Amino acid sequence: VTYRIGIDIGGTFTDFALVDDSTGHLLVHKQLTTPTDPSKSVLSGIITMLEENSIPITEISTIAHGTTLVTNAVVERRGATTGMLVTAGFKDALDIAMERRFDLFDLRLEFAEPVVPRRMRVEISERNLFDGTIESHLDEIEVEAAVESLIDRYDIQALAICFLHSYVDNTHEKYAKELILTKFPHLSVSASSEVLPFMREYERWSTTTINAYVQPLTDLYLGNLEAGLQELGFSGRLLIMTSSGGMVTTDIARTFPVRLIESGPAAGALMAAFLGQRLDEPNLLSFDMGGTTAKGALIRNGKPLRRYEFEVAREYDFKQGSGLPLRIPVIDMIEIGAGGGSIAEVNDSNLLEVGPQSAGASPGPACYDQGGTSPTLTDANLVLGYLVADTFLGGRMSLLEPHSRKAIKRSISEVLDIDVSRAAWGIHEVINEDVARAFRVHASEVGFDYRNCAMIAFGGSGPAHALRVAKKLRIPKVIFPVGAGVMSAIGLLTTPISYATLRSSRIGLNQLKPSTIELEFSSIEKQAKDLLIKAGVKVAEIEIERRLDMRFIGQGHEVEVSLAENFDVKELEILFRRTYNKVFAAAPHDADIEVINWKVEASGPRPTFADNYTPFQGAKKGTLGQRKIETYDDKTGESSVSSVVDRYVLEIGQKVLGPALIQEDETTTVLATGDEITVDNLGNLVAEINYTGV
């Protein structure tokens, strides 16, 4: 039993990666997603793969799964009818939200509606004070009556329990939940202190209501999947990836489905980190660009950065602040509305703008000839000769360049009075600048110096833009990994089971004693450990990582400090100041310091992933032949001739000099004049960029 399967469900395609840990052989597979019931495409993909390679399902030890199911359910509002019990006086918290406009100049702002409508929120006369004292006690009869009326009147299937200060004392929430489950066992119930004991009621409650909202649907999906796998004879383990990049069992996924948001993209960033370790590049930018969005992650010392905030369902032009906030551990990723389908237009002030609106898969770019008439990034890349019309997706789809030309001409060239290729170049380069800008701003936010890093570029559109983005950031090295098209599915196979959580408790540094520290960590550490033990991890194999959010008293933003196993409380101040200075450069401060959040991550052993994994691609070898294509040269504004190189015939150590396109089924790597890549001994394409004299 040496096989494992990674499955990543995306909006359009579901990707599969199957690895044989004993030999390192890797097989990949891609097929269309079945949106109405994604478990169908998962099951049929598994069957196809196993049958084609004559592997019995009993040989599979683990199936690791990443899915956009939860994100889509929130965006498309397909969750359950959900009610809410909330501390008296605060049922409007979800509408009052942040009391903030996310754009100051645009007067027509629209905000995402909460997932629990106002009429389905019932106030309960209980009250905890900030220090944990109880001002009014919970009344069982009141709770029961409230839930009963929500069921009678609205037929709710899920319920969120949201009480003030439950992160200090969860007695009321816990008791209410037990009571409700005894009386109404069919309800899905989420309590805010369980989902994440974090101080800030609006964000905690928003997270809790969304958890409740997606619970019934997640339960159904996982149930179908488990039943289907069992029918096939699968007796191994089914694991699901969370947005923080940890693997969890289906039990944990059912309890905290909100943590599955962004589980697919997280796997891509983790794969980049994993590759970085193999290639001895501990500091990386992971750059993933697909059809609708581009995603970037920063990887420091071999680990992707994490954070505890995320926003889902951005209502208004993807603008930050227009969605619903979530406090869950996530891999810290920047998301830009920039992908192959991004639509270009001339805006109000007569300037070219690209995205965030996307033509998506339907109607798609003009060149798909499916009715799309707006010019997109893919159209621009086709006009520029950065894509080959008849080898797109391994030749399974052909692109119509005249359509692209026509769309760009009508919407851009004629409006701005410039020629079509210049307009196309503008579209291409605006995206490069957008991506570079997002990396730059984000790096300054977290104090990350990307100049000594390598970039790992993948996704359908990433490799066409990576080198130009890298040059803007003065990144010296870009790596185009093997299997770039299914990176996330491969990433699912490299990750251990883990669970991360945090708890808010504000304590001044001068009051910290070793015993306080143990006390503060104990409850969340126990929760994390228990979950892992339940998932079958041996106690001795559990690794615990502790981190603190600290700040100068009076500041609004925290700095995260990692604690070594046997750290000395006395060194905490130095540790904090060192981290602070790294992030914000030196700032002289005599102010006092405090701890705000206590964070724990428990993980099991990392799966042994063969170091010499090689994708099997014999069948594709050499189908492309010798070709040339005219490409746009931005330096001269003229076209020059690029060679089209078949990635499947490249050999270790071989070099390719630009201008050239390197073609594989799922993506195209674009080299401009002067760029050069070398194939490393694992099959990755590596470009080194020399900046002296640039």
Partner 1 sequence: VTKFDPISLKILWDRLVAISDELVQSLVRTSFSMNVREGYDLSCMLFDSKARLLTQGSYSVPSFTGTAPKTLQHMLDKFPPKKLKPGDVIITNDPWMGTGHLFDINVMRPVFKNEKLVGYTMSVTHLPDIGGKGMSSDCTEVYHEGLRLPVCKLQDEGKLNELILDIVRTNVRVPEQTIGDLMANVACNEVGGRSLLEFMDEYNLEEIESLADAINLHSEISMRQKIEEIPDGNYKNCIQIEGPRHPILLNAVVCVKKGEVAIDFNKTDGPVKASINVPFCYTNAQSLYVIKCLTIPGLPNNEGSMRPITVKAPHNCILNAQPPWPTGGRHSVGHFVVPLLMGALAPALPEKVQADAAMMNVFSVQGKHRNGEEISSLFFLAGGLGAMYGLDGRAVTPAPSNMTVVPTEIWENRTSMTIEKRAILENTGGAGKWTGGSGQEVVFRNDTGNPIEFALMGQRTEFPAKGLVGGGDGSLRKYLVNGVEVDPKARITLMPGDRIMMQEAGGGGYGNEKERDL
With respect to partner 1, which residue has the nearer C-beta, 99 or 651? 99
With respect to partner 1, which residue has the nearer C-beta, 93 or 502? 93
Tokens 């491969």 label which residue? 490
Measured between alpha carbons, how far is residue 164 from residues 200, 310, 527, 643 in Å? 9, 22, 21, 64
With respect to partner 1, which residue has the nearer C-beta, 78 or 200? 200
- Exposure class string for 444-461: b at 16+ Cβ within 10 A, else e: eeeebebeebbbbbbbbb
Q: How far is the CB of 283 from partner 1 (least distance, A)?
A: 20
With respect to partner 1, which residue has the nearer C-beta, 21 or 594? 594
With respect to partner 1, which residue has the nearer C-beta, 28 or 336? 336
Q: How far is the CB of 65 from partner 1 (least distance, A)?
A: 35
For residue 600, the one-letter residue type is V
CB atoms within 10 A of CB 595: 24
Do 164 and 88 meet the contact criterion of CB atoms below 8 Å apart?
A: no
Q: Is there a cis peptide before residue 356, judged by omega within 30 degrees of 0?
A: yes
In sequence order, the 6+-apart residues with CB closer than 8 A to the CB of 571 are none
For residue 408, the one-letter residue type is I
* Helix spans in 447-477 (H): 462-473
Do 480 and 272 meet the contact criterion of CB atoms below 8 Å apart?
A: no
Could you list the beta-strand ranges (E) of 193-351: 237-241, 247-249, 284-289, 294-300, 303-304, 306-307, 310-312, 324-326, 330-331, 333-336, 342-346
With respect to partner 1, which residue has the nearer C-beta, 320 or 654? 320
- How far is the C-alpha of 199 from the C-alpha of 42, rounded, in Å? 39
Q: How far is the CB of 322 from partner 1 (least distance, A)?
A: 12
Instruction: Enter the DSSP assignment of 107.
Output: S
Q: How far is the CB of 351 from partner 1 (least distance, A)?
A: 5
Q: How far is the CB of 7 from partner 1 (least distance, A)?
A: 37
Q: 477: phi > 0 → left, psi -120 to 50 → alpha, else beta; which?
A: beta
Closest CA relative to residue 196, chosen from 210, 215, 184: 210
For residue 643, the one-letter residue type is S
Q: How far is the CB of 276 from partner 1 (least distance, A)?
A: 25
Measured between alpha carbons, how far is residue 270 from residues 110, 508, 670 in Å? 34, 35, 24
With respect to partner 1, which residue has the nearer C-beta, 135 or 651? 135
With respect to partner 1, which residue has the nearer C-beta, 308 or 425? 425
With respect to partner 1, which residue has the nearer C-beta, 97 or 181? 97
With respect to partner 1, which residue has the nearer C-beta, 100 or 570? 100
Q: How far is the CB of 651 from partner 1 (least distance, A)?
A: 35
Q: How far is the CB of 536 from partner 1 (least distance, A)?
A: 37
Q: How far is the CB of 510 from partner 1 (least distance, A)?
A: 13
With respect to partner 1, which residue has the nearer C-beta, 554 or 625? 554
Do 694 and 473 meet the contact criterion of CB atoms below 8 Å apart?
A: no
Q: How far is the CB of 451 from partner 1 (least distance, A)?
A: 11
Q: 58: helix, coil or strand? A: helix
With respect to partner 1, which residue has the nearer C-beta, 20 or 315? 315
Closest CA relative to residue 344, chosen from 384, 392, 396, 313: 384
Closest CA relative to residue 328, chosen from 408, 382, 256, 415: 256
**Beta-sheet pairing, 593-603 with 498-508:** antiparallel
With respect to partner 1, which residue has the nearer C-beta, 410 or 472? 472
With respect to partner 1, which residue has the nearer C-beta, 104 or 540? 104
**Beta-sheet pairing, 13-20 with 121-124:** unpaired
Apex 58 CA angle, 55 and 64, nearest 5: 90
Give the distance from CA 78 to its chain's centroid. Answer: 21
The residue count for the chain: 694
Summarize as ranges the residues that interact with partner 1 (CB under 8 A). Answer: 88-93, 95-101, 103-109, 111, 129-131, 135, 164-165, 167, 199-202, 347-352, 416, 418, 422-423, 425-426, 429-430, 433-434, 437, 440-441, 444-445, 472, 506, 552, 554-557, 583-591
CB atoms within 10 A of CB 512: 19
Structure tokens at 387: 């894509």
Q: How far is the CB of 468 from partner 1 (least distance, A)?
A: 11
Structure tokens at 221: 């999906």
Q: How far is the CB of 613 from partner 1 (least distance, A)?
A: 38
Do 261 and 71 meet the contact criterion of CB atoms below 8 Å apart?
A: yes
Q: How far is the CB of 309 from partner 1 (least distance, A)?
A: 13
Q: How far is the CB of 239 from partner 1 (least distance, A)?
A: 35
